Structure 1
Amino acid sequence: MALTRDLLDIRTIYHEPAVRDFPLGGEILARFPDAERIVVPSHWNIPELHGNAGSVEDWVRIKRSTLVLGVKKGLAMRPNGRSAHFIAPSTSNGCAMACAYCYVPRRKGFSNPISLFVNVEQACAAIARHAGRQGRLPAPDPIDPEYWVYDIGENGDLSVDAAVSGGVRALIALFRTLPNAKASFATKAVNRDLLAYDPQGKTRIRFSLMPARIARIVDVRTAPIPERIAAIDDFVAAGYEVHVNFSPVILYEDWEADWRALFAEIDATLSDAAKAQLKCEIIMLTHNADLHAVNLGWHPKAEDLLWRPDIQEAKVSEGGGTNLRYRAGWKGRWLVRFKALLAETMPYCTVRYAF
Structure 2
Amino acid sequence: MTAEPLLRPTRIYVEPAAAELPRGRAVLARFPDAERVEVASHWQIPELHGDEANVRRWVRIKREALVLGVKKSLSARPNGRSAHFIAPSTANGCAMACAYCYVPRRKGYSNPITVFANIDQITGYLARHVRRQGTMTSPDQVDDAAWVYDIGENSDCAVDALVSDNVRDLVELFGSLPTAKASFATKHVNRDLLTWDPKGRTRVRFSLMPERTAKLLDIRTSPVADRLAALDDFVAAGYEVHVNLSPVVVHDGWLEDWRELLVSLGDATTPATRAQLAAEIIMLTHNRALHEVNLGWHPKAEELLWRPDLQEGKRSEGGGVNVRYRAGLKRRLLDELLDLVAEHAPYLRVRYAF
TM-score, structure 1 normalization? 0.98
* Equivalent residue, structure 1, for 2:178: 179
Q: Following superposition of structure 1 onto structure 2, how do residues 1-355 of structure 1 map, counting pairs within 5 Å?
A: 6-355=5-354
Structure 2 CA distance for aligned equivalents of residues 107 and 235 of structure 1:
32
1:151-196 CA distances to partner (integer Å, 9 max, x unpaired)?
0000000101101101111000000111210000000000000011
What secondary structure is seen at the aligned counterpart in 2 of 1:45? coil
Amino acid at match of 1:193: D
What secondary structure is seen at the aligned counterpart in 1 of 2:5? helix
1:63-96 CA distances to partner (integer Å, 9 max, x unpaired)?
0000001000111110000100000001111000
Structure 2 CA distance for aligned equivalents of residues 182 and 319 of structure 1:
29
CA shift, 1:138, in A, is 1.9
In structure 1, stretches of 5+ residues that fail to align are: none
Amino acid at match of 2:176: T
- For structure 1, which segment, 106-115 or 317-326, has the greater mean C-alpha deviation from structure 2 after superposition? 317-326
Q: Would you say the 8 A contact 2:17–2:70 is kept in 1? A: yes
Q: Percent identical across equivalent pairs?
A: 63
Q: Would you say the 8 A contact 2:19–2:68 is kept in 1? A: no
Structure 1 CA distance for aligned equivalents of residues 272 and 320 of structure 2:
41
Structure 2 CA distance for aligned equivalents of residues 82 and 263 of structure 1:
23
Q: Would you say the 8 A contact 1:55–1:110 is kept in 2? A: no
What secondary structure is seen at the aligned counterpart in 2 of 1:6? coil
CA shift, 1:104, in A, is 2.0
What secondary structure is seen at the aligned counterpart in 1 of 2:247? strand
Structure 2 CA distance for aligned equivalents of residues 274 and 84 of structure 1:
21
Structure 2 CA distance for aligned equivalents of residues 352 and 320 of structure 1:
29
CA shift, 1:110, in A, is 3.2
Q: How many residues of Structure 1 are paired with residues of Structure 2 in the alignment?
A: 353
Amino acid at match of 2:103: V
Structure 1 CA distance for aligned equivalents of residues 131 and 317 of structure 2:
28
Amino acid at match of 1:73: K
CA shift, 1:315, in A, is 1.0
- For structure 1, which segment, 310-319 or 38-47, has the greater mean C-alpha deviation from structure 2 after superposition? 310-319
1:315-347 CA distances to partner (integer Å, 9 max, x unpaired)?
123444321000001101111111000110111
1:26-80 CA distances to partner (integer Å, 9 max, x unpaired)?
0000011110100000000001111100110111100000000100011111000
Amino acid at match of 1:82: R
Amino acid at match of 1:191: N
Q: Would you say the 8 A contact 2:9–2:65 is kept in 1? A: yes
Amino acid at match of 2:128: R
TM-score, structure 2 normalization? 0.98
What secondary structure is seen at the aligned counterpart in 2 of 1:186? strand
CA shift, 1:107, in A, is 1.9
CA shift, 1:254, in A, is 1.1
Structure 2 CA distance for aligned equivalents of residues 26 and 299 of structure 1:
37
CA shift, 1:140, in A, is 0.7
Amino acid at match of 2:138: A
